[in-house]
């Protein structure tokens, strides 16, 4: 079985071809980073227009690299949400058009399901497992029970983790995107000089919060008579360790819940751009080892937004007999766990 996948829900335009033996035949990603950098964040209108400009040739490139044509596909999958709606529309319309002209089924994929099932593509991981999704738009802990079966244990009640990194980087004048810049500055900082709060630490449940921490950084900056390079590095270090510590605490709570409901420890999968953070990885390696969990981090290229994960999730759904009509309407919000309470907060949220 071979599936073409399309991703366009945020600031990466991507197309990929994946086979059911877990082979990625082609995986092309075009980042719009340079187009959004002058604005210090993703501008939805620029993103949608850019997806429209580039998607056709990215699909052609994915076909060429994989040596396939539309006729070889068993299904055409695209991110159907959640995400920036203009971009999602571009991807869905493109996939529907390909499906219509080639007479192939169309599968609308939940972007979060793409992240959730990536470890099954990369290492054939069996259900169930625990997923920590930490990106610029999402911050959630979920149990992945099966295709289409998710239980959200916790989520951010305000900003996503990556969003917090980006905003703090902006405050410290470190550039965009913030995560790598904060990590780099923190590496040269003194982590003992300032102490910042660990939001939600020790609270019942597995929810996250980062807006209080962001404000604490704002106040700390305001307290400094002048912001030297050393100050900025020390603040970046204090912020980074606070985020890693807060995420670790919430993840420990989720591992406890998972172990209690699944007869013992299992595997923790980490996905999303923030999974690139070295301190976070180190911290998660420590807490998983202590809890008897295995830590699985897919390769960075497949942790951040890509279309291989969308093709794979589409393939997993399609081989279970699921597909969508050409009347599918793109969804700005699309929670993986419909039973979970609705999320609030800015940005791209499920
Ligand atoms: O998954 P992703 O590429 O895009 C979506 O948000 O969907 O994640 C991007 C986010 C950005 O907020 C970026 O600042 C953050 O991941 N990020 C990092 C690091 N690298 C990227 N955050 C912390 N440390 C990093 N090394
Ligand atoms: Zn994503």
Give the closest residue to 199 by CA, choosing from 139, 135, 253, 249.
249
Kindly tell me if the per-residue pLDDT of 149 is higher than 50: yes
Q: What is the pLDDT of residues 52-70, one digit of tens each?
A: 999 999 999 999 999 999 9
Q: What is the pLDDT of residue 41?
A: 84
Mean pLDDT along residues 292-304:
95
Q: To the nearest whole number, what is the mean pLDDT of the chain?
A: 95
Mean pLDDT along residues 111-119:
96
Mean pLDDT along residues 330-343:
88
3-state secondary structure of 343: coil
Q: What is the pLDDT of residue 342?
A: 75
Q: Which helix (H) or strand (E) holds 196?
A: none
Cα 251 to chain centroid, rounded: 16
Q: Which helix (H) or strand (E) holds 202?
A: none
Q: What is the pLDDT of residues 170-196, one digit of tens each?
A: 999 998 889 999 999 999 999 999 999
- Residue 287 Cα distances to 129, 199, 204, 273, 295, angstroms: 16, 18, 18, 20, 9
Q: What is the pLDDT of residues 240-257, one digit of tens each?
A: 999 999 999 999 999 999
Q: Give every CB contact of residue 215 below 8 A, 6+ residues apart in sequence.
A: none
Q: Which of 116, 131, 162 most suits a substitution to test ligand 1, by most atoms within 8 Å of the C-beta? A: 162
Kindly tell me if the per-residue pLDDT of 261 is higher than 60: yes
C-alpha to C-alpha distance for 292 and 110, rounded to whole angstroms: 30
Kindly tell me if the per-residue pLDDT of 235 is higher than 50: yes
Cα 158 to chain centroid, rounded: 16
Residues with CB under 5 A from ligand 2 (ion): 135, 305
Take atom 18 of ligand 1 and give the residue whose Cα is closest: 179
Q: Which of 7, 42, 172, 177 most suits a substitution to test ligand 1, by most atoms within 8 Å of the C-beta? A: 177
Mean pLDDT along residues 290-314:
96
Q: Which atom of ligand 1 is nearest to the CA of 161?
A: 12
How buried is residue 300: exposed, middle or buried, by Cβ count under 10 Å (0-12/13-18/19+)?
exposed
Q: What is the pLDDT of residue 344?
A: 65
Burial 272-288 (b: 16+ CB within 10 A, else e): bbbbbbebbbebbeebb
Q: Give every CB contact of residue 23 below 8 A, 6+ residues apart in sequence.
A: none
């Amino acid at each position: 079985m071979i599936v073409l996948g399309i991703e366009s829900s945020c600031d990466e335009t991507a197309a990929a071809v994946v086979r059911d033996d877990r082979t990625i035949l082609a995986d092309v990603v075009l980042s719009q980073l340079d187009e959004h950098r002058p604005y210090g964040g993703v501008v939805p209108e620029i993103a949608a227009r850019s997806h429209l400009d580039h998607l056709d040739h990215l699909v052609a490139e994915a076909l060429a690299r994989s040596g396939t044509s539309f006729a070889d596909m068993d299904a055409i999958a695209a991110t159907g949400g959640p995400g920036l709606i203009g971009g999602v529309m571009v991807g869905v319309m493109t996939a529907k058009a390909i499906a219509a002209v080639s007479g192939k089924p169309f599968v609308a994929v939940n972007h979060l399901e793409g992240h959730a099932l990536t470890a099954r593509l990369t290492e054939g991981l069996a259900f169930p497992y625990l997923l920590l999704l930490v990106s610029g738009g999402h911050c959630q802990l979920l149990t992945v029970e099966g295709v289409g079966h998710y239980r959200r244990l916790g989520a951010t009640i305000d900003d996503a983790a990556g969003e917090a990194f980006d905003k703090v980087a902006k405050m410290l004048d470190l550039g965009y995107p913030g995560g790598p810049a904060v990590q780099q500055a923190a590496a040269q900082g003194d982590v003992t000089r300032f102490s910042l709060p660990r939001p939600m630490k020790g609270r019942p449940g597995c929810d996250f919060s980062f807006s209080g921490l962001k404000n604490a950084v704002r106040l700390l900056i305001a307290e400094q008579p002048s912001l030297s390079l050393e100050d900025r590095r020390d603040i970046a270090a204090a912020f980074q360790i606070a985020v890693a510590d807060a995420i670790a605490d919430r993840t420990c709570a989720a591992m406890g819940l998972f172990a209690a409901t699944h007869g013992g420890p299992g595997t923790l999968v980490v996905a999303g751009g923030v999974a690139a953070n070295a301190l976070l990885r180190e911290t998660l390696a420590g807490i998983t080892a202590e809890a008897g969990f295995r830590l699985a981090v897919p390769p960075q290229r497949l942790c951040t937004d890509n279309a291989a994960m969308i093709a794979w999730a589409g393939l997993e759904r399609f081989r279970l007999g699921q597909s969508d009509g050409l009347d599918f309407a793109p969804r700005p919000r699309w929670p993986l766990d419909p039973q979970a309470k609705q999320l609030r907060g800015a940005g791209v949220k499920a």
